[in-house]
Structure 1
Amino acid sequence: MTRLRRTAYVALSSFGCIVFIGLCAILSGAPLLFPSLGPTAFLVFASPAAPGASPRNTVLGHLAGVLAGLTGLAVTGLLTAAPDLTHPSWARIGAAAIALGLTCAAMAALEIPHPPAGATTLIIALGLLHTAPQIVAVLVGVALIALLAVLVNKVFGVPYPWWRSPAPVDAPPRPLHPESSATG
């Protein structure tokens, strides 16, 4: 695929998916469209073969972000607090730090890297979306972008997994403890 065609594909696919999810948001009145869907759309259309772009990593990465964001809010007593981005408190900073740390740890431990999930966890931990209906809407929005990525990439013949990226065939096994693999 030429650079111009690839650029047009990424732009138009991302555009179309966000318009579709935005339309669903208008029709449902739910916040299905939120900031971290932008980098997710870019990832699934610009780098569909990247492990972080797989539907599995997209869905589970954002789920980890949502759960970690809620955990950060709960630990700091901010589950019902209104957001205030202009005057952050130590509790809000704590919620954000806890959420991001947990999200990154979960993605690393479970091998489900999806960088945009770091934005989702901050959206939750900063209180921008934190009620039960909002959390459900976030997860529906993530499911929609993952489903649309599968459909759009398949329709246009772009290789893309239906759930999980296959492991590289030639990849050597990773040692459990990198320092123990050194000879010395």
Structure 2
Amino acid sequence: MAQFENIFRSSGNPLPARPPFNHILMGGIGGVVAIAVLALMDANIEAALLLGSFGASCVLIFGFPEAPFSQPRNIVAGHVLSSFVGLVFLTMFGPEWWSLALAAGLAIALMMATRTVHPPAGSNPVIIFLAQPAWDFLLFPTLTGAVVLVIVAWVFLKLSKRSAYPAYWW
């Protein structure tokens, strides 16, 4: 029984501190604004701008704008790189479980190697294998949507004075 207790034992660290209420509020509002902009643009320009992983990107961008994962370089390059890998593997090997697994692993490794890690982008190969889009998926929604997210974040965070965003551009 003691061996099972050791398996589930945590390090004993306390929970992180709760962010200030205004950060929580602005994080939620930032997510609303960013997804609303993408959704409205998506509906009005007849080009796909929504990607499931963009919701998770908003968590990082508006909840933790100072984090390296939230910087424009990581958001744009992470999404584009991961989608590119997903499209390459889908095209070369088809929608096989092992192809998806290799694409996801390679996307992670490449983001780490290029210092463009953006955790939500790690789901892009999975999204690509589920949807099986054409190569234009790389431009719409991946690149264009990621750039719009960064622009919305930059404007919103400047106006809200929540953060000196970004810490770096590229």
Structure 2 spans left out of the alignment, 5+ residues:
1-18
**In the alignment, which of 46, 59, 64 is matched to residue 63 of structure 2?**
46
- Give the 5 Å matches for 1:102-121: 102-121=106-125
1:10 equivalent to 2:27? Answer yes
Could you tell me how far apart the structure 1 residues matched to 2:135 and 2:42 are?
16
Higher helix proportion: 2
Identical-pair percentage:
28
| CA-CA distance at 1:94 after TM superposition | 2.0
1:68 equivalent to 2:71? Answer no
Output the aligned Cα RMSD: 1.6
Could you tell me how far apart the structure 2 residues matched to 1:156 and 1:163 are?
19
Q: After superposition, what is the alpha-carbon deviation per residue over 1:15-73, rounded to whole angstroms, capped at 9, x for unaligned?
A: 01101110000012222112100010110111111101000110000011111101211
Could you tell me how far apart the structure 1 residues matched to 2:84 and 2:32 are?
28
1:160 equivalent to 2:154? Answer no
| CA-CA distance at 1:127 after TM superposition | 4.1
The answer (yes or no) to whether the contact 2:80–2:138 under 8 Å persists in 1 is no
The residue that corresponds to 1:33 in the other structure is 50
The residue that corresponds to 1:82 in the other structure is none
Give the AA of the match of 2:137. Q
Give the AA of the match of 2:169. W
Normalising by structure 2, what TM-score?
A: 0.81
**Poorly superposed stretches of 4+, deviation over 2 Å:** 132-135
Could you tell me how far apart the structure 2 residues matched to 1:70 and 1:94 are?
14
Could you tell me how far apart the structure 2 residues matched to 1:48 and 1:98 are?
30
- Give the 5 Å matches for 1:64-103: 64-76=81-93, 78=94, 91-103=95-107
Could you tell me how far apart the structure 2 residues matched to 1:75 and 1:133 are?
16
Structure 1 spans left out of the alignment, 5+ residues:
79-90, 165-184
Normalising by structure 1, what TM-score?
A: 0.75
Query: Number of residue pairs matched?
Result: 149
